[in-house]
A and B are shown apart, each in its own frame.
Chain A
Amino acid sequence: MKKFWALFFFFWPTVAIITCLIAPSRGWWFPSPPMSRTGVQIDGLFYLILIIVTITFVGTQYALGYALWKGATKETDSKAVFSHGSHKLEIIWTIVPSFILVFISLSQLDVLAEIRVISKFPDKAVRVAEVTARQFEWRIRYPKPGTELTTEENPGDLYFVNELHVPIGKPVIINLRTQDVQHAFFSPQLRVKQDAVPGLVIPVWFDVQEVGTYDLVCAELCGWGHYKMKARIVAQSQSSVEKYLKQLEADQNADGTKAATADSEE
């Protein structure tokens, strides 16, 4: 029975590792490859940590299992090793992990600065829209075509709900805010997440690499309907975005006279 329990502690980390190895093929992994440039960097850092952590996990779990196995297979009348520890070992396992941890820490700084520090935002990033979260939807405000986005609303701004159109291939900035409680702007495929904090306007930048429709969900508990703040980020070419905004402008200005009627008859 002793050996059984020692093997038990070998067995479960092995199952855990196998589960992780087959996970990507079973769809238990990232929802898609990273669809933004910062997303690619984030995934790179994730895999870096994953490798370090996996090695440590296997090493420590099997060391634990082996220590148990040694105890389980010990001759019955042999006594325990009398030792209060080892100064040398303590130093080794203080210094080695600290170097690894500092290395991990330093490796994150550049990407962190790029994503979050406003002065390091890409120079040519365009402020495309303001996204206002509210219970339980995302309200999008685009500036009137040909004008710049400002914090205040302007006449001619274009409004839509739960669908954000952005151009691909270049960095864009959205101004994130909330009308009521705290929410979080989370696009799993783009690896973008930022809380929308009451009273603050927070700029978020990302650049989508490929044409497509990506999920936008809420990642900060915002009430009973938290789960249903479902929206889409539609990434398309610059010209398609312009076309979309033009259509939006036409729809918004439609007053029931012929231009709009012709539109609806189409």
Chain B
Amino acid sequence: MATVSPALDAHGHADDHSHGHHEQTFVQKYVFSLDHKIIGIQFLITTLIMLMVGGALALAVRWQLAFPWENMPIVGGVFGLFRTEGGQISPEFYTMLFTMHASVMIFLVIIPILAGAFGNFLIPLQIGTDDMAFPALNMLSYWFMWPAILCFGCSFFVGGGTAGPGNGWTSYPLLSDLPQAAPGSGAPQSFWLLGLTLVGVSSMMGSVNYMTTIINMRAPGMTLFRMPLTIWSMFITAILQAFALPVLTAAGFMLLFDRMSSILPTDIHSVFFIPANIIVNNAPPTVGGGQPLLWQHLFWFYSHPAVYIMLLPAMGMVSDMLACMSRKPVFGYKPMVYSMAAIAGLGFIVWGHHMFTSGMNPALGMTFMTSTMMIALPSAIKTFNWIGTIWGGDLKFNAVMLNCSGFVAMFIVGGLSGIFMAAVPVDIYFHDTYFIVAHFHYVLFGSTLFGVFAAIQFWFPKMFGREMNDTVQKWHFALSFIGFNCTFFPMHLLGIAGMPRRYADPYLHGYLEHLLPMNRFITLSAILMGLAQFLLLGNFFYSMFRGKKVGRNPWNANGLEWTAPSPPGHGNFDIAPVVYRGPYEYSSPEAEAIGQDYILQTVPHVKGVAKVAHH
């Protein structure tokens, strides 16, 4: 169970670092750190940088769609890319752009920013323990990200700089299987697969750690149903990862084995996904008896649960923040937990809805349609509960609240547009059109990232002992929200108009020609949204050093993390916390009895008890 690090004196705050018994070198403390908080912050900063990389790739995609075959500004032209072609984006480079945009955003931003950054930072603090169960494993989970980033980075260049992996983040064989199939299907694709595997290793180490920590290391009194919903969401996410990831890793290795003769100088390779007698680009016919659909099943068996891995932690964090900013308990705490569990459970039996047009047995299509429809139910329950939480609250209209409300609003859109795709006949039309692009950006950007924007600001004081500027965050919210909706809402209409995804030049087709102005508008909105992120980054790094200093509990919140110093020293708590109540007792009669609208989880059930020390 939780122990208090002896290195801390009773009133040790931020300066614990320099007063610890065992002197740590800079490298031990900030680079190869075993401290979950430092690891969390490392994840956070890395993913924020990757967010900008992924965003830049997206803007290049948008450039081509708005101004097809025109010279790329800034990076194109004489000194940049495609000197010989005069700075145009080539079609194979375009396939690389959207592939790497998705890969970076999913594997290097969304998954690690939720589980890696916030999971690491918050789990020990919110359950009241001094660190993760396996600190070294935790450190490794961060440092395995870098070989992955390196592999993804290499995959840009091993193809000569113009032909990275261009098979989409879904990497369907045979395109991704036979090196002759595309300019980027040779070495770049192999590096991409290695990067993917390494990200998986990193996630798996995190997942094992989170499960163990949450099960074994909760503070005395922290029963399962006194855990903040953030912890519940991290716990459920960790379970999802533990069960789904091995399948992706196995599939990745199967694909690597299929590709063996393009990696090593050997003729021996497997044929898991390669059927016989396929002639790609005038290469000799393939020998095999494999089945490309197998990859889709294996891939989506991971990647559909992965959608919830990319969403559940944000749901949990938003629940925490909404309760705090509404000064009200979360509406329906247990239904919230059960619906997250239901989403996770159902998440494993809906993967086939990505394959409605794949030639899969239609009986399976019916099953997957029904299970997919049913997964909308827990999502609906959660949405109603979030609105219920806000209803009648004493709302604090800061940027945290706005971003959380933005999360709920965007999640509604993403959830509702999903219903069209769950219905197989309608999906037959919408599959692989921009309708899908709109849908998953509403879920992954609209929901998750707005939740993350809120979470960054909310837990920033705990990370650095300073607060972010709220006005700048409000501007960031407004510009991101407007830019986001102007970018992605019209994409629904592009989808209805039948514009397929992943087209370097849709205007080649007469029925799409008239959509060019709308695509220009979308690109301009995307640029606005991209620029707005500099407000976040600027505010983040400025506030890290110059922000207003704050005490332990600047938001008057209830969670255990707010009883620790800001920032907490190594070992987190100066007194091992004991938990007496749930995390959402805002505005309760007991809180009133002590003259507050909140009551920390560590306050015993005795009326008239002395206030716990806070700023």
- Which A residues contact B (CB, under 8 angstroms)? 1-2, 5, 8-9, 12-13, 16, 19-20, 23, 27-32, 38, 41-42, 45-46, 49-50, 52-53, 56-57, 60-61, 63-64, 67-68, 70-72, 74, 78-86, 89-90, 93-94, 97-98, 101-102, 104-105, 108-109, 111-113, 115-117, 135, 179-182, 184, 186, 188-189, 191-195, 197-200, 202, 215, 217-228, 230
Contacts and interface: CB of A to CB of B under 8 A. Distances in A.
Nearest to A107: B423
A150 B423 CA distance: 33
Interface stretch (B35-43, B139-147, B495-503): B495-503
A19 B376 contact: no
A31 B511 contact: yes
Interface string B82-106: 0000000011101100000000000
Given A16-B485, A30-B497, A61-B412, A67 B387 contact: yes
13 contacts: A30-B498, A45-B426, A46-B429, A79-B394, A83-B328, A84-B333, A90-B335, A105-B422, A180-B181, A180-B281, A193-B432, A195-B357, A219-B432
Given A53-B416, A197-B359, 4 more contacts: A85-B329, A86-B332, A116-B365, A224-B504
Contacts of B426: 42, 45-46, 49, 108
B280 to A, nearest CB: 4
Interface stretch (B26-34, B52-60, B166-174, B459-467): B166-174
A45 B280 contact: no
A182 B392 contact: no
A181 B175 contact: yes
Contacts of B275: 198-199
A49 B373 CA distance: 12
Contact of B432 (A38, A63, A105, A220): A220
B420 A46 contact: yes
Interface in B284-326: 290-293, 326
B489 A16 contact: yes
Contact of B506 (A8, A53, A180, A227): A227
A80 B587 contact: yes
Nearest to A134: B279
Contact of A12 (B172, B174, B409, B515): B409
B167 A221 contact: yes
B167 A64 contact: no
B324 to A, nearest CB: 11
Given A53-B419, A228-B505, A116 B377 contact: no
Interface string B439-482: 00000000000000000000000000000000000000010010
A240 to B, nearest CB: 22
Contact of B359 (A49, A104, A200, A219): A200
B394 A224 contact: no
Given A19-B489, A197-B359, A215-B511, A224 B95 contact: yes
A85 B335 contact: yes
Contact of B328 (A38, A49, A68, A82): A82
A228 B90 CA distance: 13
B510 interface: yes
A98 B377 contact: yes
B537 interface: no
B597 interface: yes
Select the residue from B365, B494, B518 with max chain A CB neighbours within 10 A: B365
B183 A224 contact: yes
B588 interface: yes
B598 to A, nearest CB: 10
A8 to B, nearest CB: 8
Interface string B576-594: 0000000010111100100
A228 B181 CA distance: 16
